[in-house]
């Protein structure tokens, strides 16, 4: 266990559904991240939050909406997704966005859009 | 073209054997380089992290090396075990905006 917990572990949703992914860490970290990992592709950074403020959005479609109510929790709200959005969504946290801070990853949520 | 290239793409070895995975990068200026192990369907787990001034770092049977001049890193696994079967990902963090670039990973299969 890395100290970063993601729920649910698996999610199947229709294209008209609205769902949310949750990430929680009690490591005292101030930075949290959402990544997408599609089959046979490298990890793609989606969003970065530092001290609850979004500091990075890598041109992610608006059907993905992140929320960071506090430094320990991060959500990814999903609506009107497409089948190509099916992937492993990983959350990570680090002490801050500093250059040499270690990132700890959650186990991921396996999302399937049907 | 990815700024972090890993080789080989996949590797099969017998249990107990050693192996070496390669990571070449062009990210510059460079902040740190990390190796992660990712089991299928799970999140990556950190193995080592090295900064510019470090040449080698060990974590049990895993030893990472870094040559910042040639921009190359390797991960050496000694006396492989079946549980070493996983994807090994090289991640290079630059100093410009602190962005991390992920390699495609090397898929290692250890057979009995």
Residue B57 touches chain A, beta carbons under 8 Å: no
C-alpha to C-alpha distance for A73 and A22, rounded to whole angstroms: 7
Confidence of residue A98 (pLDDT cuts 50, 70, 90): low
Among the residue ranges A26-40, A76-90, A91-105, the one predicted with the least confidence is A91-105
Among the residue ranges A72-81, B14-23, B51-60, B75-84, the one predicted with the least confidence is B51-60
Average pLDDT over every residue of B100-106: 90
- For residue B1, pLDDT over 60 is answered with no
Gap from B17 CA to chain A (nearest CA, Å): 26
Is residue A87 helix, strand or coil? strand
C-alpha to C-alpha distance for A42 and B28, rounded to whole angstroms: 19
Residue B103 touches chain A, beta carbons under 8 Å: yes
Contact pairs from chain A to chain B, CB under 8 Å: 50
Q: Could you say which of B95, B99, B102 has the minimum Cβ distance to residue A42?
A: B102
- For residue B97, pLDDT over 80 is answered with no
Q: Which residue of B has its CA nearest to A6?
A: B43
Average pLDDT over every residue of A65-72: 95
Q: What is the pLDDT of residue B100?
A: 81
> Would you call B67 exposed, middle or buried from its count of C-beta atoms within 10 A (0-12, 13-18, 19+)?
exposed
Among the residue ranges A97-101, B34-38, B48-52, the one predicted with the least confidence is A97-101
């Amino acid at each position: 266990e890395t100290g970063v917990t993601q729920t649910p572990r698996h999610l199947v949703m229709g294209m008209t559904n609205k769902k949310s992914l949750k990430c929680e860490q009690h490591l005292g970290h101030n930075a949290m991240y959402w990544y997408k990992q599609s089959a046979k592709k490298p990890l793609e950074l989606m969003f970065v939050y530092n001290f609850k403020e979004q500091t990075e959005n890598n041109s992610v479609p608006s059907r993905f909406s992140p929320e960071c109510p506090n430094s320990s929790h991060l959500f990814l709200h999903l609506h009107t997704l497409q089948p190509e959005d099916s992937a492993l969504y990983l959350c990570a946290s680090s002490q801050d966005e500093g250059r040499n801070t270690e990132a700890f990853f959650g186990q991921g949520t396996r999302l399937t859009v049907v | 073209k990815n700024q972090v290239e890993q080789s080989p793409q996949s590797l099969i070895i017998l249990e107990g054997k050693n192996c070496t995975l390669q990571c070449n990068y062009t990210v510059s200026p460079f902040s740190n380089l990390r190796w992660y192990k990712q089991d299928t369907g799970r999140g990556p787990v950190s193995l080592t992290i090295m900064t510019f001034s470090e040449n080698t770092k060990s974590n049990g049977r895993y030893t990472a090396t870094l040559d910042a001049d040639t921009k190359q890193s390797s991960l050496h696994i000694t006396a492989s075990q079946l549980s070493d079967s996983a994807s090994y990902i090289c991640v290079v963090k630059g100093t410009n905006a602190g962005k991390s670039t992920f390699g495609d990973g090397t898929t290692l299969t250890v057979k009995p």
